């Protein structure tokens, strides 16, 4: 993993996602439609840039191999996310 690429990628992803959420969910804060359109475009660009950089930060130098407690945390999070995803799909059918 290359933290010098991964940290900015995560920051861009979070900032882009927040910008898209803010522009769609809080339209009462932005009175001009042109400002909202510009915020959509800028936020989407920042989000896409972050999503493009994440694999480069994760896989530089090979696939990361967590051991011990880190592996247990990752397995637990993947299992919980999968279970909640399946539950969400079942309840919304």
Tell me the domain boundaries of the chain.
1-62, 65-93
Overall average pLDDT of the 35-58 stretch: 88
Q: What is the mean pLDDT of the chain?
A: 84
Q: Taking residues 1-15, what's their average pLDDT?
A: 89
Sign of CA dihedral 32, 37, 39, 42: negative
Mean pLDDT of 22-50: 82
* pTM assigned to the model: 0.65
| Range from 13-22, 45-54, 60-69 carrying the lowest mean pLDDT | 60-69
Question: How far does Cα 25 stand from its chain's mean position?
Answer: 18
Q: Environment class of residue 46 by beta-carbon count within 10 Å: exposed (0-12), middle (13-18) or buried (19+)?
A: buried
Q: What is the pLDDT of residue 49?
A: 92
Using CA atoms, how far apart are residues 3 and 35, in angstroms rounded to an integer?
Answer: 34
């Amino acid at each position: 993993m290359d933290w010098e690429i991964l940290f900015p990628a995560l920051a861009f992803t979070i900032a882009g996602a927040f910008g898209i959420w803010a522009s769609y969910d809080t339209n009462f804060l932005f009175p001009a439609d042109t400002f909202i359109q510009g915020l959509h475009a800028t936020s989407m660009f920042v989000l896409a840039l972050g999503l493009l950089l994440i694999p480069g930060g994760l896989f530089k130098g090979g696939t990361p191999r967590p051991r011990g407690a880190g592996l247990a945390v990752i397995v637990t999070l993947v299992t919980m996310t999968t279970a909640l995803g399946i539950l969400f799909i079942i309840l919304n059918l």
